[in-house]
Amino acid sequence: MHPVFKIVFGIVLLTGLLTFFYFDWEFLSKTSAQSVLSFSSSQGLKDKEIPDFPKINIGPFHNENPMPCTCQEADPANRYVPKDELDDLQNRRAEEFRQHQIRTGKENDVLILAPANTPLQYPIRGFRVTPMSKTLIPGLALQTRSRAVYKVSLRVQKGLLSVLDVQEGEQVDGQNEKNLSISSSNLQQLNGLLNRVTYTSTVYHIKTQDLAYFSFENHEVLFPIEIRRQSVPVLFDMGKDVNSQIIIADDSLNPEKVVGDNIEHYVMPPAQGWFAGRNLAVSQVTTKYFLWVDDDFVFLNETRIESFVNIMEAVPELDVVGGEVQGDQFFFKLEYEEGSSEEGGCITRFKHNHHAPLPGFDGCFFVDGVVNYFLGRTDAVRRVGFDPFLKRVAHTEFFLDGLGDLLVVTCNGHRIGHQKHSHTNKYHSFRHPPESDSQNKMTHHFFKNHLKCMQY
């Protein structure tokens, strides 16, 4: 039985270890088309005179790219939007992009320059605070030649500064305010006070940043304060034994009941498409990894799933490890230019291009996308997800959404076989959808991915 609109997602559950992900939709295309801070060591400066350099602009400089990107030979994505709808769509896209910049913390993506030399010591990276919780600022100190009075100042924007346990005779102005100044005739006493300076954010946000300005005479430095809510680890027990479980997401027009040991059969509304079924199937995975194959793939003697697992376990940063299907090791690299805020970015796909070798594993290379035979890290793939708008024409699109979030490699010699389809008239009509599907997809990417153009 081969109903045209049938999608079958099979998942073989290796308890605590691996899920085998098996799917079928006969008419689908299988493989379609910071900040920068630097500093100079201040060790040994106590007895040396620090020259007074002119004050320079140390930032922050926003990392914006106002220049439009070049589409070269690719058609502009907005070409496929009806002219009477284009202005309204672009206005909505601009507002969504603005909100995206806020949600992803883009306003905190700044470049900060440290002066060539400074008597001020400060944290240049890694100072993180819990929202609205008082935290000591580590590493603040002043090293300079003798003076009658030493005075330093700090100021922030999203929080309050204070010094703990101020004693009589210690000069601190601006307690629990955004601007704090500390002075003393004794350098050791001043540094003791700097060791007790705290920061408390006043705006609740789970992922944002403040900037602290720290100054002494004609010297001023700038350092970031990361405001982050601590996340809870989500771990998968690898277990000790191996069991099997099949999960079926079925969008047949006339679904038939599937029964058997360790089978879960989910009936979907008819013809919902490739990515909708994948979302359903992956949502039911309970293991650390799942193996992704098409229903027409054939397991060979040299098909070794455990080799994928060994690589992922040895390199925990990896999210996807791909192999080859019937000698076809389809993989690609994506080149993305952010472009201007008004026009959007440019994406170009380069087939059979990789970034660099995976250290320690001959024949494995970092890429941006792989063939439909791969091992995926369940939690990472879920975070990216599958766009249910894409029903028939979709493969690169999943990896495009995961660009910058998924660490992907392809490996030679990890083979699986392929059984060819018989091309019925109905199969052909879905396997090669009309041009209108591709045009609608480009309109979708124009808005969703804020793209000016995309070239395969």
- Asked if the structure places residue 95 within a domain, the reply is no
- Asked if the structure places residue 125 within a domain, the reply is yes
Handedness of CA 287, 293, 296, 299 (dihedral sign): negative
> What pLDDT was estimated at residue 58?
67
Examine the fold and report which residue of 217, 245, 265 is the final residue of a domain before the chain moves on: 217
Residue in the block written with tokens 């992900």: 21
The CA distance from 366 to 331, in Å, is: 10
For residue 379, give the nearest of 286, 281, 264, 244 by alpha carbon: 286
Query: Are 420 and 396 in the same domain?
Result: yes
- Asked if the structure places residue 168 within a domain, the reply is yes
Query: Are 157 and 209 in the same domain?
Result: yes
Query: Are 266 and 385 in the same domain?
Result: yes
Of 129-138, 360-369, 440-449, the poorest mean pLDDT is in 440-449
Query: Are 183 and 260 in the same domain?
Result: no
> What pLDDT was estimated at residue 6?
37
- Asked if the structure places residue 354 within a domain, the reply is yes
Structure pTM? 0.76
Residues sharing a CB contact under 8 Å with residue 47, sequence separation 6 or more, in sequence order: 145
Handedness of CA 247, 280, 432, 430 (dihedral sign): positive
- Asked if the structure places residue 44 within a domain, the reply is no
Parent domain of 19: 10-33+233-455
Query: Are 247 and 199 in the same domain?
Result: no
The 10s digit of each residue's pLDDT in 281-320 is: 888 888 888 888 877 889 898 888 889 989 998 999 999 9
Indicate the number of domains in the chain.
2
> What pLDDT was estimated at residue 167?
92
Of 106-115, 122-131, 329-338, 353-362, the poorest mean pLDDT is in 106-115
Of 16-20, 324-328, 335-339, 384-388, the poorest mean pLDDT is in 16-20
Query: Are 436 and 291 in the same domain?
Result: yes
Q: Is the predicted pLDDT of residue 250 greater than 90, yes or no?
A: no
DSSP H helical segments within 57-202, as ranges? 83-103, 187-194
Residue in the block written with tokens 């594993």: 361
- Asked if the structure places residue 384 within a domain, the reply is yes
Query: Are 203 and 279 in the same domain?
Result: no
Mean pLDDT of the chain: 81
Residue in the block written with tokens 């009509």: 429
- Asked if the structure places residue 380 within a domain, the reply is yes
> What pLDDT was estimated at residue 37?
29
- Residue 404's CB: how many other CB atoms inside 10 A? 9
- 296 neighbors 24 (Cβ within 8 angstroms): yes
Residue 61 or 236, more confident: 236
**CATH number of domain containing 248:** 3.90.550
- Asked if the structure places residue 159 within a domain, the reply is yes
